[in-house]
Amino acid sequence: MSELAVVSSRPARLKVLSDKGSRRARMALNLAENPGRFLSTVQIGITLVGVLSGAFSGATLGLRLTQWLQEQGLSTAIAEGLGVGSVVVAITYASLIIGELVPKQIALRDPEKVACRVAPAVTILSKVSAPLVWLLDASGRIVLKILGQKTKNSEGVTEEEVKSIIAEAESAGVLEKEEKNMISGVMRFADRSAKALMTPRRDVEMIDLSDSKQEILQQIRGTRRSRLPVQGNDADSILGVIFVKDIIEPLSMNQDIDIESFAMIAPIVTDNANALDVLKAIRASTIHMALVFDEYGHFEGVITSGDILEAITGVFQEEGDHEPSHVQRQDGSWLVSGWMPIDEFADHIGGPVDPNADYETLAGFVLNTLNRLPEVGETFTIEGWIFEVVDMDGRRIDKILVTPKPIE
């Protein structure tokens, strides 16, 4: 029970208890941090119990039962065999149930609590038998070295382990489904680049200074955006960002204003910038918008605080926009939008994804696989999944049908 409890305990939980002043939790942490000494101590205890129980059962209980059987009229040979054998079977059965199975199940049900309870006794045993513990620990390390085993791996908790804990918390009712989805969204967000977060250039609504003021006034009256980038003399010349509320009144009153003077400098990030760096840049700006450029200075798109929120919580539906990222059909296949982020696709649908790929969407996955622009109706199969391009919007892949391949 001591061994399984300490090994199964999560160090983070023991650390919390230790920080709250629990001396037993601190002892359990020390045991877990020195597995060689701990396991040697436990093995000494197990060996002592085994030796004592064996000697006690054979020399005492077995002898007494043998004498009792002889008094009942059995021969010496039969009484000795039956007496010692019965005691050995009974002791073995009790050792398995009381000494192994039940204690291990108790340890697994609440390992941290059990570890805290047994830690003082194990610590005392470790100190009392210190020379023998040192000998066993040193011997074990020597044998491990001969076998080519390296020292304990210092790698911390992996992302997959964190996801497993979150899924376990959801199934146990500790987390609501939406809470679990948002936590997963935060983890996905940290792994994304600016390219995966941005609204691409073709979908960005901008004020073009080459337009007349009347055209600009008509544009800002019809926009649903609170701020718009300002484009200069070419597509890559973005002068800044204008708050619509700042210019709509003077334009409506036909005032002679310099629209460019209302443009405010927005932070600029590269398309390969880490999502956390993008978040830091946006938080430091009053514009709450970042302009995305590639390494050649071409304007790629914009990232707003709303884009960051959507990356965590999921895409918000806007008026006139009824296109979900994915829909499961009755036959088990999925109709997926090309713009669906590839990490969300992997989480929700589970298709094959290269974690180190340089594409950000399912459309990028298709292009990366085919190495060319596909035709409508074109299909390919990867790792048991069938992908079919069912709709193209010009040169953009709009819809992909994803079907798990039937098991033959």
Condensed to tens digits (0 to 9), the pLDDT of residues 184-229 reads 888 888 888 898 889 888 889 999 988 888 888 898 888 888 899 9
Q: According to the model, what pLDDT value does residue 99 have?
A: 81
Buried b (16+ CB within 10 A) or exposed e, 50-66: eeebeeebeeebbeebb
What average pLDDT is seen over the chain? 83
Q: Which position has the higher pLDDT, 159 or 393?
A: 393
pLDDT reading at 49 higher than 60:
yes
* Res 138: pLDDT: 84
DSSP symbols for 355-398? TT-S--BHHHHHHHHHSSPPPTT-EEEETTEEEEEEEEETTEEE
Residue 98 carries which DSSP code?
I
Using alpha carbons, select from 372, 370, 371, 363 the residue that is nearest to residue 391.
363
Confidence of residue 141 (pLDDT cuts 50, 70, 90): confident
What the chain holds in terms of domains, given with CATH numbers, is 2-146 (no CATH), 159-190 (no CATH), 194-313 (3.10.580.10), 326-404 (3.30.465.10)
The per-residue pLDDT for 142 is: 87
Position 383 scores a pLDDT of 82
Q: List, for residues 291-326, the tens digit of each pLDDT value.
A: 999 988 899 999 998 889 888 887 666 555 556 778
Distance, CA of 140 to CA of 109 (rounded, Å): 30
Residue 30 has pLDDT above 80, yes or no: yes
Say which range, 89-93, 227-231, 281-285, has the weakest mean pLDDT. Answer: 89-93
Question: CA 11, 16, 22: angle at the middle one, nearest 5?
Answer: 100
Give the model's pLDDT for residue 400. 92
Kindly report which listed range (68-82, 93-107, 202-216, 272-286) carries the lowest average pLDDT score. 68-82
pTM assigned to the model: 0.61
How do residues 323-379 score in pLDDT, each as one tens digit? Answer: 677 888 888 888 998 888 888 888 778 777 776 677 888 898 899 888 889 988 889
pLDDT at residue 155 is higher than 70 = no
Over residues 97-128, the pLDDT tens digits come to 888 888 888 888 888 888 888 888 888 888 88
